[in-house]
A and B are shown apart, each in its own frame.
Chain A
Amino acid sequence: MPELSYDKKIEKVLELLHKDCRKSLEEMATMLDIPMTEVADIIDKLEKDGVIIGYGARINWDKAYSQNTVTAYIELRVTPQRNKGFDRIAERIYQFPEVKAINLMSGSYDFGITVEGKNIKEVSLFVSEHLAPMESIVGTATHFVLKRYKYDGVICCKPSKDEREVISL
């Protein structure tokens, strides 16, 4: 087997962990044909360097028992602050625990944020009482998620079933 380059190994380890972060070091080592200690070192480095910032389950909340969560995708238009640009505003917005994700965007608005709450009312209140009044925010547009079809590369609403039939080969 040709030895994988270090960058390639990092890429492969990240791919495996992203798909399934519960995979054991041993199994990853077998799959990639590199020593277990090396896999461990790579993961250590990725954690230290802030490439891996956490491990968690990918959850289809729509199906979680008795779990009430609504998700909204909110577009924010802002006026950047002198010398601080957008970062200062982002830092203030991401402090709210309701905000699950925030990205600076190109195009017709500035930030795209994902907000979760127990119901539509709670999210709406959050927007009107906390976000909209912030002085640098000049406009918001809130879109509620109605149904999740695919999330983080995984299709949510289709059970994966082996459709292959019996055949002589």
Chain B
Amino acid sequence: MSIDIQGLINPVVRDIPPSGIRKFFDIAAEMDDAISLGVGEPDFVTPWHIRDEGIYSLEKGMTYYTSNSGLKELRFELSKYMKRRFSLDYDPLTQLLITVGGSEAIDLCIRSVICNGDEVLIPEPSFVCYSPITRLAGGVPVPIVTKAENNFKLTAEELKAAITPKTRVLVLPFPNNPTGAIMNEEDLWEIAEVLRGTNIIVLSDEIYAELTYGDKKHFSIAQIPDMYERTVLVSGFSKAYAMTGWRLGYACGHPDLIKAMTKVHQFAIMSAPTTAQYAAIEALRNGDDDIEMMKNEYDMRRRVIVQGFNDMGLECFEPKGAFYAFPSIKSTGLTSNDFCERCLREKKVAVIPGTAFGQSGEGFIRCSYAYSIDSINEALSRIEAFVKTLK
């Protein structure tokens, strides 16, 4: 009798459903001329001067672990960056932790706070990791459905209605993947009003902060004076600097929280990749122009894709952040899943069903515009042709 491996898998892990995103890629990967608007990472390569610093650090032999919290020089540079770009003050020695992507920072934050049935409020549709991480920590994910008619923002009423005595964490995933929604300063003051006097920590996932379009800059809930203390701001280098593969992110917050997170981090990870940290110092010092260049490029594509969907009769709310459009496909009468599956099989375009980001994504599809204008135009015309066949 061989060992029953399946039976040994932690039931929490076993019950995590497979990613709804991968499925379509796997099909697309087998097709010859499939075109994709599926990928959620920048199509730019990391700017050369940043790569060059990474290479230079290797030439110099900087191949050791860094301190658990990350290179001191990087944390000092990050502290200056947070001040310069978002008017936020963080002490580099006690309030910043360098992590393996924003992903690890999210995991650390939830694991450091959540246990035994604590509730985590998760606005949906949103990035896929918050709920499984909560479950693995023994917590209970509580989705809050954001609505198209509210521009997919979290409203104060929705938040108030979801809070229970067990609520410990509110995830604020804005700018949002997949909807492209943002929360501006006034919206966040209303959220702050509800949180005041509660014992709820805000996990603010601001990985797309630098990709905020329009005349207003990104505003963080941590910029509201009495929200600063309770907010763990999570971000990273992946999206702002096109550095996904380097796996580097960070958390900023109250020294006690950062200390707790550092404890988990030191046992799980030890320290974030050293080469990436050297490259990141260069990014923070001399990368503002790169951010601007890439943002302008995304912004132009954003207008093309939104216009394209609206022109073909798929109503598309104007995304104000990140690099995703989230058009409604309700007019076609298909479910998100059927739409995506048929679109892929019949017209060879891979887009992601909204339901991959929570049940509330039903009736929508996520289309990344981290693609060249030519790919976007080609995908749009194929989707349009597909929609026409449904009439």
Expressed in whole angstroms, the minimum distance between the Cβ of B190 and any Cβ of chain A is 24
Q: Are A30 and B307 CB-contacts (below 8 A) given A166-B25, A166-B29, A168-B19?
A: yes
Asked if B26 CB lies within 8 Å of chain A CBs, one says yes
Number of interface residues of B (CB under 8 A): 23
Q: A31-B301, A169-B21, A169-B177 are in contact. List 14 more A-B contacts (CB 8 A).
A: A1-B214, A27-B304, A30-B303, A30-B304, A32-B300, A33-B303, A164-B39, A166-B22, A166-B29, A167-B39, A168-B21, A168-B128, A169-B40, A169-B128
CB distance from B73 to the nearest CB of A (A): 29
Shortest B342–chain A CB gap in Å is 20
Tell me the B12-44 residues at the A interface (CB within 8 Å). Answer: 19, 21-22, 25-26, 29, 36, 39-41, 43
A162 at the interface (CB under 8 A from B): yes
Taking the closest CB of chain B, its distance from the CB of A14, in whole angstroms, is: 14
* B155–chain A nearest beta-carbon distance, Å: 25
- B interface residue numbers (CB < 8 A to A): 19, 21-22, 25-26, 29, 36, 39-41, 43, 127-128, 177, 214-215, 300-301, 303-304, 307, 373, 377
Partner of B41, one of A27, A32, A164: A164
With contacts A27-B304, A32-B300, A169-B127 taken as known, whether A164 is within 8 angstroms of B26 at the C-beta atoms is: no
Which chain A positions have C-beta within 8 A of B307? 30
Chain A residue contacts of B128, Cβ below 8 A:
168-169
Complexed CA–CA distance, A169 and B25 (Å): 11
A2 contacts the other chain (Cβ, under 8 Å)?
Answer: yes
Overall SS of chain A's interface = loop
In the assembled complex, the Cα of A33 lies from the Cα of B318 at a distance in Å of 13
Encoded as 1 (CB less than 8 Å from any B CB) or 0, chain A from 18 to 48 comes to 0000000001001111000000000000000
Number of interface residues of A (CB under 8 A): 13
Q: Which residues of A contact B304 (CB under 8 A)?
A: 27, 30-31
Contacts of A30 in B (CB 8 A): 303-304, 307
In the docked arrangement, what's the CA distance between A119 and B49, Å? 38
Contact present for A164 and B303 (CB under 8 Å): no
Whether the Cβ atoms of A162 and B43 lie closer than 8 Å is yes
Residue in contact with A31 in the complex, picked from B21, B22, B300, CB distance below 8 Å: B300
Give bound CA distance, A164 to B371, whole Å: 11
Contacts of B25 in A (CB 8 A): 166
Among B19, B25, B26, B300, the most chain A Cβ lie within 10 Å of the Cβ of: B300
Which residue in chain A gives the minimum CB-CB distance to B302? A31
Most buried by B among A1, A162, A164, A167: A164
A27 to B374, CA, bound (A): 11
CB distance from B236 to the nearest CB of A (A): 12
Cα–Cα, bound, A169→B126 (Å): 10
Report which of B22, B43, B127, B214 forms a contact with A164, defined as CB distance below 8 A.
B43
How close is B93's CB to chain A, nearest CB, in angstroms?
32
Complex CA gap A168/B303 in Å reads 26
User: Can you sample 18 A-B contacts with CB below 8 Å?
Assistant: A1-B215, A2-B215, A27-B304, A30-B307, A31-B304, A31-B373, A32-B300, A33-B303, A164-B39, A164-B41, A164-B43, A166-B22, A166-B25, A166-B26, A168-B21, A169-B21, A169-B41, A169-B128
A166 to chain B, nearest CB (A): 4
Closest to B22 in A: A168
Smallest beta-carbon distance A107→chain B, Å: 26
Shortest Cβ distance from B296 into A: residue? A12
Interface residues in A150-165 by Cβ distance below 8 A to B read 162, 164
Cα distance, A35 to B180, chains bound together (Å): 25
| B105 → A minimal CB distance (Å) | 15
B41 to A167, Cβ gap below 8 A? yes
